[in-house]
């Protein structure tokens, strides 16, 4: 499987996915830290990929997503955006609804 297929598979199999530097409990950059805090505040499950541990993803995702920076939040296969957009959605209350709506039915 090539790296683009891996990325597509990750996005397809995780309703809420953040590509970030580090892990949610140990982010490795301020933008990832703020983005993941907003995501955790929603109180729902989400998946993450540490791009520092996955250099091929780090190198190829910006071209695939047509988005140059990290973090990147994907909900239901759609790119939501990076840190600034995530924080704006969180502050407006929209992020929680988007994340909750993406959760699989129990």
At residue 105 the predicted structure's pLDDT band, cuts being 50, 70 and 90, is confident
* In the predicted structure, residue 42 carries a pLDDT above the cut 80: yes
Total domains in the chain come to 1
Whether residue 46 is annotated as binding a ligand: the answer is no
Please, what is the average pLDDT of the chain?
97
- Across the range 73-89, mean pLDDT stands at 98
Q: Is the pLDDT of residue 106 over 80?
A: no
* Peptide bond between residue 40 and the one before it cis (omega within 30 degrees of 0): no
Instruction: Check the annotation: does 32 bind a ligand.
Output: no
> Is residue 34 part of an annotated ligand binding site?
no
42 is in an annotated binding site: no
Each residue's pLDDT tens digit, 21-36:
999 999 999 999 999 9
CA atoms lying within 13 Å on the CB side of residue 99: 22
Structural domain of residue 86, as residue ranges?
3-102
Q: What is the CATH number of the domain that holds 92?
A: 3.40.30.10
């Amino acid at each position: 499987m090539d790296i683009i297929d891996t990325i597509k598979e990750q996005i397809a199999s995780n309703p809420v996915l953040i590509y970030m530097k580090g892990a949610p409990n140990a982010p490795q950059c301020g933008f990832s830290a703020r983005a993941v805090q907003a995501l955790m505040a929603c109180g729902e499950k989400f998946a993450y990929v540490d791009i520092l541990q996955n250099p091929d993803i780090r190198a190829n995702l910006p071209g695939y997503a047509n988005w140059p920076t990290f973090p990147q939040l994907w909900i239901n296969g759609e790119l939501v955006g990076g840190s600034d957009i995530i924080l704006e959605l969180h502050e407006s209350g929209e992020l929680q609804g988007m994340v909750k709506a993406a959760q699989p039915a129990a």
